[in-house]
Structures are given as C-alpha cells and as structure tokens.
Amino acid sequence: MLKKLVASSMMLAMVFTMSLNVYAQDSEDYTMWETLMFTPDYTKLKTLQENMRKHNQTYHKDAPYTANVYNITSGPNAGRMIWQMGPMMFKHNDSRPGEGGHDADWRDNVMPYVKEIQTIEYWSQDDELSNTSMLTGPEVKYPILYVRFFEVDNDHGYSLRHIFKQVSATVKSLEGENPWGLYYNNFLQGNLGRHIATVGFSKNWADFDRDMKFKEAFVKIHGENSWDTFLDTLDGTFTNRWDEIWAYNKNLSGR
C-alpha cells in the first residue's frame, strides 16, 4: 500500500510539473532565466556592490550569460535582491562560466557579503502568450518589474491556459506599449508555492498611476458577463497570489 501511495505521489508531481512546462518548452527553442534570490549583508553593501558589479562585468557581460540584478522593493521578500542570468536554455549550463577564476571570484569576493541565499529557480517564458517584443535589445528599457506570483491548486490546473489566454488577449488589445510576460517555474519549490509568475514591465513609477482600463478592455473582448466569471475562476485555480516590485540595480548588473 505504501509503495502505491509513493508511486501515486511521484506521478502526481511529474504530471503537475509537466502541466506547467508544456507551454513553456513545446519546441526546441524557448526563453528561460535563472534567478537567484539572496539577502545582502547591508553592513557591507558598498563592498558587495563593487565586487558583484566587477564579477558580472567580467564573467556575465555577454549572452546567454548576461547578469542583471534587481532590488525587491515591496512584498514578502522586500529587502532581498535578485541576481538573474539569461535569457538562456538548460544546455547553456554545460558551458556556463566556471573556470578562469569565475568560481573563485564568486566564492571569495561575493559570497562573504551575502547573508543568505533563499532560492535558485529557472523560469521559462510562454513566448506565445507573453507580450515582450518591445523588450529586445541590450539596454534595460523597463527597469521596474511588477511581479505577481501564483500558487496553483492541484485540482484546478486545467483552467490555467484559459485564464492566461484571456489576460494575454486583453493586454495585447490595450493602447500603447504594454510589455507583459508569463513565466513557469521549471522545478517544484516545496512550500514556497512559486509556480507561475506574470511580469508587467514599466519605464518609471508614474506608470502605476496610469489607468490601463484593463477591466473595460477585458469585457469588450470576452463579453459582458465575463469579468465576474474570470474572478471566480482565479479564486478556484490559485490557492495564493502575491505581488512584488523589482527595481533594476544598474550598479550591480553586468552592463
């Protein structure tokens, strides 16, 4: 009986993971980032800034190993930072920087000024539903990220595609440039619940004062009674949702 339970649990985990990744990696080409969340030692922040910037500019200046750093300025992880590498693919890990002083430099000049690493994750973009074509280029044009995390209810994962297709269609119908991305966590995170993330990209904080008229656009596309149904579906599909704001830290990044 115990062996059957273990086997069933493993199968459920495999199916659940595959359901998140099937949209992100349904072809040979996909877009993915590695993210490392860490807590800096704020008593030695100046040294960390100098050393991490030098490290990133030396070893993470060129694609696909380009590194960017963000300050988490709101939400449950406020005060922590994100070190992000990519866009990349899993195969690039086989030739990622390691030799030539990289690992020693990270060990000796970066890690002593980091209090704790919370998690390392791989996030794949849903290239079909995302609206991120305006982000291409070497420069960071939208330095403020509005990140919303979703924890998926095991019994309602079937509605994921429908929900985000509705959101995607609405975002793409809005006037002006409205960069928005949909990302799937490639590996289970235990009780962290970080299954899916959406990201809205902003050029400045004033963007948050702008009324995008999302609800109005949503109803126009999906029908008069669609909004309440959409909200009910969200509540049934996700067991938890929360927001974070990430601000690009040019002083620590590799470009």
Whether residue 19 lies inside any domain: the answer is: no
Task: Count the domains in the chain.
Answer: 1
Please state, in angstroms and as integers, the Cα–Cα distance from residue 178 to each residue in 131, 181, 216, following that order.
Answer: 7, 10, 16
Q: Tell me: pLDDT of 209 over 60.
A: yes
Whether residue 254 lies inside any domain: the answer is: no
CB 227 within 8 A of CB 218: yes
Whether residue 92 lies inside any domain: the answer is: yes
Span 146-173, pLDDT tens digits: 999 999 998 988 999 999 999 999 999 9
CB 194 within 8 A of CB 239: no
Q: Tell me: pLDDT of 203 over 90.
A: yes
Whether residue 196 lies inside any domain: the answer is: yes
Whether residue 128 lies inside any domain: the answer is: yes
Percent of the chain with pLDDT over 70: 89
CB 88 within 8 A of CB 33: yes
Predicted pLDDT at 12: 36
Residue 112 is part of which domain span? 26-248
Lowest mean pLDDT among 13-17, 31-35, 81-85, 198-202: 13-17
Whether residue 242 lies inside any domain: the answer is: yes
Whether residue 17 lies inside any domain: the answer is: no
CATH code, 205: 3.30.70.100
Whether residue 159 lies inside any domain: the answer is: yes
Span 75-118, pLDDT tens digits: 999 999 999 999 999 999 999 998 889 999 999 999 999 999 99
Lowest mean pLDDT among 13-17, 185-189, 207-211, 240-244: 13-17
Q: What is the pTM of this model?
A: 0.89
